[in-house]
Structure 1
């Protein structure tokens, strides 16, 4: 959106401005030829310069939105991966854009065939609050690499970052190419109802359903990056302390407010207590204190904070064992210390809903087959983590479960690989992006067939005759 666009008192974009931005981009996408390699590289370079020149301001805005988040955490978990995605796309883009030759069957020779990756047009991106930079700009990288025009809607729960991103994008990009629109729930609803050529949403499954419903009115294809209860399976052969350290790392970064954080751990029944203590020991090493510790993130808002505290107190009152790093209390600035729970009721909120906070339930199992059945019986998660040095055990888990992505003997790291697609399956999402998979997802793969010196099918008929019958019999016998 242009810097002088009108805004309402709450910072929302009025309907006419939102529609006007979309129409300008749509008309430009239909009027102007697809951008060439040089133009796309230049756009990605501008995006890179925007991020590198404003690292401190970005980290400060995000920290203020959270109430506290480590600047180093923002840098390592958002800025560095964003810059990595830009670098990877710029290095690979020339190859991605080349027409790809395709096989032509002997029956259709002489001829040639190929596919072209062409811009879809206008892509909409609805980004969440938990990683507001990365989850806005990572799909933007893919959209720009594919030659699209893009509108971005940041989360209203991160208003300082949203305002900053709108200003920074407006300084570097023409609104006909990239625009950021801000506002609350109503603005997001209007945004998702625009007739984009593709809409990418990252957020909860419940909201994802509404986004998909709105997009369906326009037959807009969607990529939905949702969430779910991502399990971490600790196999009997794997060192318990080593698994606990990795799971604690992935769980308590950003205070558990990560869509691919381990949601719960499956551990052999006779190792539950030892594993719980090992997780807490690892958490205490990483975060010696919680209150006043700038390395430990706050919960984004009061509602989320109270939801987590209530969920823990409910299972505690029902007899579950709860281990807490530090009782931060109501005056903590919305911080909840790393917490481990075992013995929670299967129907409790902690065991049925995505936690999205620094609380790790532990579920015991008797055999690895039992653990696999436990995961397979539930909704397919966005991520799965398996800890084992036994290749047969790893294969057993991979063959017996389904998830969006997997990291073996670690957590989170599959999402940091630009060469791997990132996406969910089932209730954890649909479609995938990152790197070439994102470039392809946000491109139209256009097929082209070129007839050679003569067209054999035209010579066969009609009127159909003996030659056509002979050709049909010959082709059917191959």
Structure 2
């Protein structure tokens, strides 16, 4: 795809947007219903593509991607009419008599660049928000998940209004060509390195950007908990979500030294129940997405600082790009595995003298996309919520906040900027336009020159809320 093609696509979408078509409620509903039909009518095709790209188990594909796209569409269809309504705002004495409102309007033509780890969900979920808000949109799926990218291009071409919604496939040249264009918003999901490139490109046109990044999401495990339930939830959120290839997957565990034996025993026991004695042959674990990421994860394991820290797992199958669930204990804090987001099936355990020390440990590092706490101690829970800055928190579970459309999902600091999901997606792709309504009555002469002393007394009393002074100014006292 060349520069001229990118320009032509944006030009066509701007013409469509300028026609006013995308702003209409009926158009938005029709396109949301079209996306819903894709998820409902092409489940097998989508599942097959996700298996081709990631060896993703069918149930994970349905629960974590297809079902969530359906839910997102239905949530938008149900709430759209209310979301589009102007919001009444208070009028002030300075503009009396008047009324005020906040009118949500679409931003215009927006670009969505999605990620490979949940290539169906992370492509369509922001597109749903962009359409609901009334924008024209270009979707650039990840080339690292080529089968899903191809399915998205085909199905959207069949179901949606291609004069306003387009899919552009390709790799770095195509993305670069798109980033050269002027957009009204760019929504990027991926890593911080590319996020910085996207942000730099956006500055040329002062384009607002949403960056959905990642980070090292910690799990704090207290001793006064139901270990079986906690461990099963941690395993599900780590290895049951793309074999750790998820932005909100637990990246490392923090627990007190005395808690380690019980925690490790529980994790080993449950992992064997979930994935068997030979997890490399389990059909319930996704593979590593490609050889580059397999080598990256292998390098983390082969680091001389951590090579003797593996206490469970560690098996690898390079031919099939499989790495078994792997637990490491007390890795050095300056090791590579503790500096980079892991994004894979490796899980270090960091020990502290007491669980309360975990708060300082987390806060000494970059702000994560998610942080998790397992405890029955209400005081610790309150301190955790009050003192940990992260994109989102979950108490006594992991990752489930992503599935709640009533909660904003996004990062903070190094883990991203901006948020979406549900109404927050609509707001992300909207401009909140302030509108003040007046008529021709109540035209106070005091606002106009010449500025006499009596006018000055009146205006100062008005702006200071001095009722007595206002009365005095009016009667000339």
CA distance in 2, matches of 1:351, 1:71: 32
Map residues 8-23 of structure 1 onto 2, 5 A cutoff: 13-23=1-11
- Give 1:188 shift: 1.4
Map residues 157-306 of structure 1 onto 2, 5 A cutoff: 157-253=144-240, 254-288=242-276, 289-306=278-295
1:41 matches 2:25: no
- Give 1:453 shift: 4.6
Contact kept? 2:218, 2:362, Cα under 8 Å: yes
Deviation string for 1:39-58 (max 9, x for gaps)? 21111001100121111111
CA distance in 1, matches of 2:305, 2:21: 62
Deviation string for 1:335-375 (max 9, x for gaps)? 11111001212111111110000111001112233100000
CA distance in 2, matches of 1:408, 1:19: 47
The normalised TM-score by structure 1 is: 0.93
2:132 paired residue number? 145
CA distance in 2, matches of 1:379, 1:147: 35
CA distance in 1, matches of 2:21, 2:436: 21
CA distance in 2, matches of 1:315, 1:142: 46
The normalised TM-score by structure 2 is: 0.93
- Give 1:303 shift: 1.1
CA distance in 2, matches of 1:303, 1:33: 44
1:3 paired residue number? none
Contact kept? 2:215, 2:414, Cα under 8 Å: yes
CA distance in 1, matches of 2:30, 2:256: 53
Could you say what secondary structure the match of 2:437 adopts? strand
Q: Which residue among 39, 47, 51 is the counterpart of 1:59?
A: 47
Aligned residue pairs total 463
Deviation string for 1:274-329 (max 9, x for gaps)? 212322222222212423322210000011112112211325765324311x7243
Contact kept? 2:50, 2:56, Cα under 8 Å: yes
1:76 paired residue number? 63
1:323 paired residue number? 312
CA distance in 2, matches of 1:312, 1:241: 27
2:342 paired residue number? 355
1:131 paired residue number? 118
1:4 paired residue number? none
Deviation string for 1:192-216 (max 9, x for gaps)? 2321100000000111011100111
- Structure 1: segments with no counterpart, 5+ residues: 1-12
CA distance in 1, matches of 2:21, 2:45: 36
Could you say what secondary structure the match of 2:28 adopts? helix
- Give 1:444 shift: 1.2
- Give 1:189 shift: 1.9
Could you say what secondary structure the match of 2:351 adopts? strand
Answer with 467-476 or 438-447: which moved more: 467-476
1:420 matches 2:401: no
Could you say what secondary structure the match of 1:114 adopts? strand
Could you say what secondary structure the match of 2:239 adopts? helix
- Give 1:419 shift: 1.0
CA distance in 2, matches of 1:131, 1:265: 24
Contact kept? 2:112, 2:137, Cα under 8 Å: yes
